[in-house]
Amino acid sequence: MLFIDLRDRTGILQLVIDPQKIPEAKDLGLQDCIYAAGLVRERPEGQKNAKMATGDVELEVESLEVLNKSKVPPFVVENDVKANEELRLRYRYLDLRREPMQKSIIFRHCVITAMREYLNKNDFIEIETPILTRSMPEGARDYLVPSRLYPKKFYALAQSPQMYKQLLMVAGFERYYQIARCMRDEDPRHDRQPEHTQIDIEMSFVNEDDVFKIAEDMFTHILKATLNQELNTPFLRLTYKQAIERYGTDKPDLRFEMEIIDLKEIFKEKEFPPFKDKQEIRGLVIKDGGAISRKRLDTLNEQAKELGLAGIFWCKKDEKFSGSIAKLMDEDIAAELKLEKGDLLIISAGDNKIFSFLGDLRNEIATELKLHKQGFKFLWVYDFPVFEFDEKTKKFAASHHIFTQPKEEDIKYLDSDPLRVRGRLYDLVCNGNELASGSIRNHNRALQEKLF
């Protein structure tokens, strides 16, 4: 008897073939495309496979047709594939036969279906906008397409539907969405590639709370529909300033603790020259971080100095304090910082670069010590600055985009202190990744001219 695994997108079924009745079965090879008919029967005791969805049954084949023979595959099509990425991409159609790949694509389909269900029920209209468009100021370079009818003229592939959705709002549609394809000529990064799909949403006559409610309820519906998981809403909200000061980044990962601590007041009475007259003295308490090696700490010290900081200073708490600032520590300070036996305190001092340094360190340590908890941790980060100062051009530039409405209470600073002006900007962050970004658009012509 021959036992063969037959696979389609729903799973695997074991075929049982008598080669004397169906001799051509002896010539079957991996990835051959076949048609088989027969009797589905329960497997004999001792041959059932509890790890398979169809592990209790098998198909006793009565007829077999080879629809197409396969060449010897360049790699074995299995869940734990051994082939490298380049080979898998070259034979993409084979790689996509693997269960993990099919599950990912089908899951993506389910997510988009759930998005549409929610938005359609909430009075949004799905409208497609052009892909071939004119070049517009966006966040990256355009892909250009030459025009056949108009020599030396070019279309640009849309980086986003931004201008079109604004026109739809002016036209009075009020609630629009699109599963939009976007093309951007930019260098690949871990979260960027030349083309991507985004859920594009625009609403008229709303404020931030309205947008947050729609997005939170949409993600709640998606997770319930696709993973049968509940989300706690409303999501946590942090201002940009709070996120930077507490986590060193505007997209913090909240699956683990370890906030950046302001230590200026705690150590202000201590005579320690590296802390003297420093703008910021900040640190991290790393739970069970005492195992981090001295070599690793020395490397961090050099990295901090390269950024213009004073270096790092550290203390481990065991039966007594040890480390470069052990002499500054006592039990009262340890209690205030919740520094317990086996913990590590890392401190740095300097200017605002300290936040990004400690933020990066926080993420590195969490990965090294496997601190990430399971689940999804969402939050909103809002009140981003409207402007940033470009050191190369020595000019102010929009930190996100110039069409954002400034916060009303900050408009008075536009002339005197532009970097102080906050915008009605917001990002949705999940597990340290920026999932979405948006803003309340400026509709005041005089104010827009001033911003330009």
Here the CATH number for the domain that contains residue 192 is 3.30.930.10
The residue segments making up the domain with residue 172 are 102-227
Average pLDDT score, the chain: 94
Alpha carbon 116 to chain centroid, angstroms: 21
Residue 32 has pLDDT above 90, yes or no: yes
Q: Is residue 76 part of a domain?
A: no
420 in the same domain as 353: no
Alpha carbon distances (Å) from 267 to 275, 309, 316: 8, 17, 17
Residue 85 has pLDDT above 90, yes or no: yes
112 in the same domain as 218: yes
Confidence of residue 397 (pLDDT cuts 50, 70, 90): confident
Nearest Cα residue to 281 out of 341, 358, 338: 358
Report the pLDDT value the prediction gives residue 271, as an integer from 0 to 100.
85
Q: Is residue 195 part of a domain?
A: yes
Q: How far apart are CA 337 and CA 287, in angstroms?
A: 11
Q: How far apart are CA 251 and CA 37, in angstroms?
A: 55
Report the pLDDT value the prediction gives residue 150, as an integer from 0 to 100.
94
- Using a 10 angstrom Cβ sphere, with 0-12 exposed, 13-18 middle and 19 or more buried, the burial of residue 149 is exposed
Alpha carbon distances (Å) from 58 to 3, 6, 38: 10, 10, 10
Q: How far apart are CA 305 and CA 308, in angstroms?
A: 5
Q: Is residue 92 part of a domain?
A: no
Kindly report the CATH number assigned to the domain that includes residue 355. 3.30.1360.30
More confident residue, 452 or 252: 252
Q: Is residue 93 part of a domain?
A: no
Beta strands in 225-358 (DSSP E): 236-239, 261-262, 280-286, 312-317, 321-322, 344-350
Beta strands in 223-336 (DSSP E): 236-239, 261-262, 280-286, 312-317, 321-322
Q: Which of 209, 227, 245 is the last residue of a domain?
A: 227
Residue 21 has pLDDT above 90, yes or no: yes
364 in the same domain as 306: yes
Percent of residues, the chain, with pLDDT higher than 90: 87
Beta strands in 184-317 (DSSP E): 195-203, 236-239, 261-262, 280-286, 312-317
269 in the same domain as 355: yes
33 in the same domain as 122: no
425 in the same domain as 390: yes
pLDDT (average), residues 347-361:
95
Q: Is residue 23 part of a domain?
A: yes
384 in the same domain as 359: no
pLDDT digits (tens, 9 = 90+) for 101-149: 999 999 999 999 999 999 999 999 999 999 999 988 777 899 999 999 9
With a CB cutoff of 8 Å and minimum separation 6, the contacts of 393 are none
203 in the same domain as 116: yes
Q: Which of 339, 369, 399 is the last residue of a domain?
A: 369
Residue 246 has pLDDT above 90, yes or no: yes
208 in the same domain as 301: no
322 in the same domain as 205: no
Residue 189 has pLDDT above 90, yes or no: no
Q: Is residue 238 part of a domain?
A: no
Residue 402 has pLDDT above 90, yes or no: no
pLDDT (average), residues 270-292:
91
Q: Is residue 97 part of a domain?
A: no
Q: How far apart are CA 349 and CA 355, in angstroms?
A: 10
DSSP-derived 3-state class of residue 156: strand
Residue 191 has pLDDT above 80, yes or no: no
Total structural domains within the chain: 4
Contact between 261 and 323 under an 8 Å Cβ cutoff? The reply is no
pLDDT (average), residues 55-71:
96
Listing DSSP states for 36-70 in one string gives EEEEEEEPPTT---TTSTTTTEEEEEEEEEEEE--
339 in the same domain as 263: yes
Q: What one-letter code names the amino acid at 450? A: K
Q: How far apart are CA 129 and CA 124, in angstroms?
A: 15
35 in the same domain as 128: no
Residue whose tokens read 């949705």? 428
Contact between 260 and 247 under an 8 Å Cβ cutoff? The reply is yes
Q: Is residue 86 part of a domain?
A: no
Q: Which of 317, 351, 369 is the last residue of a domain?
A: 369
